[in-house]
């Protein structure tokens, strides 16, 4: 048998030679079966996943939505810049709102309230305006100016304006309310005080006590009428009374016009006195007993707003310390010269 033949021993040359070096392995090039099955596969990597049609539909739809939103914001910005109305909205986005303007305390400056009324009057999303009043009145000219602004916005913009009297709606505040479409007041609200008052402080005796005197040079008999350092003359008394009477007549006429009645019907009520809301209803000074909530819901319903209305109030003026220090106003540090401003004042004010 061949297996029984012994292997000859190596020759001396074969014994001295090093063992043969095995051939080097070729570079690794094995690809898994799933890679070999796809012509698009890259060795050592899984194939790329192909997205479904819904994926691309979602991408395209999202992109279109983003473009529409961006376009909407651009249009809104243009509308705001053209109208100057920071509350301008695009139909369908802003909804229908009721503008509420608070008139609190003494009425001395009409500019701020007039601006708020005009702003709401120009805003198409504001369907009606409520003047929420808690004031004893104020300057005659300031009250009259706000009254005229209310009338203008009602007629020019065809926008409903309603007055809701909180605790007090007297004198100049009632003057403003009379220009509205409707006046609401609580049973215990104070309403009325149709009248004019002129006042100043006479400190002539104080100057005498301090051994001081006022020096005035003027041309014109009545140029220094109302000098707080002396008593009035009979001529000055008659002069100032005529001015007050003229303002009084304007007050009566404007209230009568606003309340859709005659001067003769308002004049008996123009004694300067006030009435409660309960008393003023049969007198025709107000239209309905009710607080702010009643006025709000009635007004919303009258302009076609169903359910709970959205309220829009003017943005509050907020000033930081830097703005106060750099502002030209004298609210923070009053000018001492203002203390010398003792000119007589005419007021539609309940005392």
The answer as to whether 224 is a domain residue is: yes
The answer as to whether 280 is a domain residue is: yes
- Write down the pTM of the prediction: 0.68
The answer as to whether 208 is a domain residue is: yes
Short-list 97, 134, 85, 167, CA closest to 313: 97
Question: What's the sign of the alpha-carbon dihedral 35, 39, 42, 43?
Answer: positive
Q: What residues make up the domain containing 132?
A: 97-314+343-349
> Strand locations in 218-330, DSSP E?
274-276, 288-289, 310-312
DSSP 220: S
Per-residue pLDDT band for 32 (boundaries 50, 70, 90) equals: low
What 3-state class would DSSP assign to 219?
coil
* pLDDT value at residue 294: 97
> Does the pLDDT value for residue 225 go beyond 50?
yes
> Does the pLDDT value for residue 318 go beyond 80?
no
The answer as to whether 230 is a domain residue is: yes
The model's pLDDT over 123-137, given as tens digits with 9 standing for 90+, comes to 999 999 999 999 999
> Does the pLDDT value for residue 220 go beyond 60?
yes
Mean pLDDT within 215-240: 86
> CB-based contacts of 168: which residues, under 8 Å, 6+ apart?
133, 134, 135, 136, 189, 190, 350
The span from the CA of 86 to the CA of 294, in Å, is: 28
DSSP 150: H
> CB-based contacts of 256: which residues, under 8 Å, 6+ apart?
262, 263, 265, 266
* pLDDT value at residue 92: 41
The answer as to whether 64 is a domain residue is: no
* pLDDT value at residue 91: 40
Residues acting as catalytic residues:
171, 223
The answer as to whether 320 is a domain residue is: no
Count of structural domains, the chain:
1
Per-residue pLDDT band for 59 (boundaries 50, 70, 90) equals: confident
> How many Cα atoms within 13 Å fall on the side-chain side of residue 11?
2
The answer as to whether 60 is a domain residue is: no
Range of weakest confidence among 35-49, 199-213, 223-237, 270-284: 35-49
The answer as to whether 284 is a domain residue is: yes
Give the domain CATH number at 224.
3.90.226.10
């Amino acid at each position: 048998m061949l297996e029984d033949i012994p292997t000859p021993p190596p020759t001396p040359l074969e014994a001295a030679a090093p063992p043969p070096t095995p051939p080097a392995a070729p570079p690794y090039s094995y690809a898994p079966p799933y890679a070999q099955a796809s012509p698009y596969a890259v060795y050592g990597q899984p194939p790329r996943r192909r997205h479904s049609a819904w994926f691309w539909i979602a991408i395209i739809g999202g992109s279109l939505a983003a473009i529409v939103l961006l376009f909407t914001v651009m249009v809104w910005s243009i509308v705001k810049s053209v109208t100057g109305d920071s509350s301008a909205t695009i139909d369908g986005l802003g909804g229908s709102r009721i503008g509420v303007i608070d008139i609190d305390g003494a009425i001395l400056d009409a500019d701020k309230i007039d601006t708020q009324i005009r702003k709401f009057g120009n805003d198409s999303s504001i369907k009606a305006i409520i003047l929420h009043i808690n004031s004893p009145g104020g300057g005659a000219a300031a009250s009259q100016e706000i009254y005229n602004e209310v009338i203008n916005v009602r007629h020019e913009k065809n926008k409903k304006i309603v007055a809701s009297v909180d605790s007090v709606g007297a004198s100049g505040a009632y003057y403003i309310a009379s220009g509205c479409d409707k006046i609401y007041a609580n049973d215990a609200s104070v309403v009325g005080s149709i009248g004019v008052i002129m006042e100043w402080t006479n400190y002539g005796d104080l100057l005498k006590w301090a051994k001081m005197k006022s020096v005035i040079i003027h041309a014109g008999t009545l140029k220094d009428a109302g000098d707080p350092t002396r008593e009035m003359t009979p001529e000055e008394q008659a002069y100032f009374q005529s001015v007050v009477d003229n303002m009084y007549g304007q007050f009566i006429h404007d209230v009568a016009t606003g309340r859709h009645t005659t001067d003769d019907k308002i004049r008996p009520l123009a004694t300067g006195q006030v009435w409660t809301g309960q008393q003023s209803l049969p007198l025709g000074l107000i239209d309905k007993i009710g607080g702010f909530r009643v006025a709000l819901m009635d007004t919303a319903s009258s302009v076609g707003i169903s359910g709970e209305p959205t309220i829009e109030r003017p943005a509050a003026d907020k000033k930081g310390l830097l703005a106060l220090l750099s502002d030209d106003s004298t609210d923070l540090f009053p000018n001492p010269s203002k203390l010398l401003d003792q000119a007589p004042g005419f007021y539609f004010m309940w005392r």
